[in-house]
Amino acid sequence: MSKLYIVPTPIGNLADMTFRSVDILKSVETILCEDTRTSGKLLKHYEIKKPLFSYHQHNEHKVIDTLIERLKSGEIMACITDAGTPSISDPAFLLVRACAENDIIVETLPGATAFVPALVNSGLPCDKFIFEGFLPHKKGRQTRLKLLASETRTIIFYESPHRLLKTLKQLLEFFEGERKACVSRELSKMHEENIRGNFSELIQYYETHTLKGEIVLVVEGASTK
């Protein structure tokens, strides 16, 4: 019976791969991946030898029909990304939706994703939160920030090193008051760093510290008082 497995991969530390994930990747017929070179290193580490199919944001619309036909014919596939859980700011949503529309079984494995450890480590409330992913780069960015300014739940963003300072300065501009925030980068890796402070403190810090790696920004929600 055809099936698509959604398999999370480590966000940095290869030891975070689960036993079940390794077993599934060894059992499927084809592995869909963003970058065959990046995934190739992971698969080699775990001695997994399977055909790879390039599936990423630039071709996902074009290959959906082909993949669905292959699944409908009985093929068993797994979908992974360069790091983390597919569909969370990465390709997979379109494929999962198409599988649902075609009555193809989808099984999603639990595993690594960057925003959960960043949220827990931030020291900010974890009982209620929203995940925003990446803010729009240009069009709609200010509109989105103005809308989020009144959000009372903890807010989680993904950000790139070269845009973090811009984002922090805009948050200081659009969000009322000095909110607490935490910048987490290189999670699970040797040089993991979690810097906490208000917007001004974080701006001052990152104006003199070089940024590298993947970043999760966790921001305190608006006060309800």
At 32, the pLDDT band (50, 70, 90 cuts) reads very high
Residue that terminates a domain, selected from 48, 73, 108: 108
Residue ranges making up the domain that contains 85: 3-108
Whether 180 shows a pLDDT value over 80: the answer reads yes
Lowest mean pLDDT among 82-86, 124-128, 137-141: 137-141
Whether 210 shows a pLDDT value over 90: the answer reads no
Q: What is the pLDDT of residue 169?
A: 96
The CATH code of the domain that includes 101 is 3.40.1010.10
pTM above 0.85, yes or no: yes
Is residue 61 located within the same domain as residue 29?
Answer: yes
Is residue 30 located within the same domain as residue 89?
Answer: yes
At 213, the pLDDT band (50, 70, 90 cuts) reads confident
Is residue 88 located within the same domain as residue 132?
Answer: no
Is residue 157 located within the same domain as residue 204?
Answer: yes
- Dig out the tokens for 119 from the structure: 């949220």
User: Is 225 inside a domain boundary?
Assistant: no
Residues of the chain above pLDDT 70, percent? 100
Is residue 41 located within the same domain as residue 70?
Answer: yes
Number of domains in the chain: 2
Whether 208 shows a pLDDT value over 80: the answer reads yes
Whether 225 shows a pLDDT value over 90: the answer reads no
Is residue 29 located within the same domain as residue 8?
Answer: yes
Is residue 78 located within the same domain as residue 124?
Answer: no
Residues near 94 by Cβ (< 8 Å), separated by ≥ 6?
60, 61, 64
Is residue 122 located within the same domain as residue 208?
Answer: yes
